[in-house]
Amino acid sequence: MGVAEVNRTKERMVQFAADTGLELAGTFVEEDPRRPAAFERLFQAVVSDEIEIVILPSLLHMMVLGSPMHIKDYFEAATGARVVTVPG
């Protein structure tokens, strides 16, 4: 993903949050898809800040860790947060 696409994706997420009455507290972007450092930072932030909802552009953004649905289920069970995706 290039910088322009990352920025467009962030804009979609900000708009989705505003449209649904949510506050977008931060964004996490993987620099190297082979090493999910941003996912780890996201996980830690959700746990430590007791975040209730995580917005993703799509479940494919969890694919670096394995099956997106399995990772989503694991993430929700481990954090107590609900994962939602921005409609296409």
Give the number of domains in the chain. 1
Q: Global pTM? A: 0.86
**Once rounded to an integer, what is the mean pLDDT over residues 4-13?**
93
What's the confidence (pLDDT) of residue 33? 72
In order of 13, 26, 37, 48, 49, the CA distances from 58 in angstroms are 10, 16, 18, 24, 23
**Once rounded to an integer, what is the mean pLDDT over residues 27-54?**
90
Weakest-pLDDT range from 16-20, 26-30, 46-50, 61-65: 61-65
Q: Do residues 23 and 29 touch, judged by C-beta distance below 8 A?
A: no
Structural domain range at position 7:
3-85
Q: Please list, in sequence order, all residues whose beta carbon lies within 8 angstroms of the beta carbon of residue 45, skipping any fewer than 6 positions away.
A: 26, 28, 51
Give the residue ranges of DSSP H helices in 20-67: 37-49
Q: Please list, in sequence order, all residues whose beta carbon lies within 8 angstroms of the beta carbon of residue 47, skipping any fewer than 6 positions away.
A: 78, 79
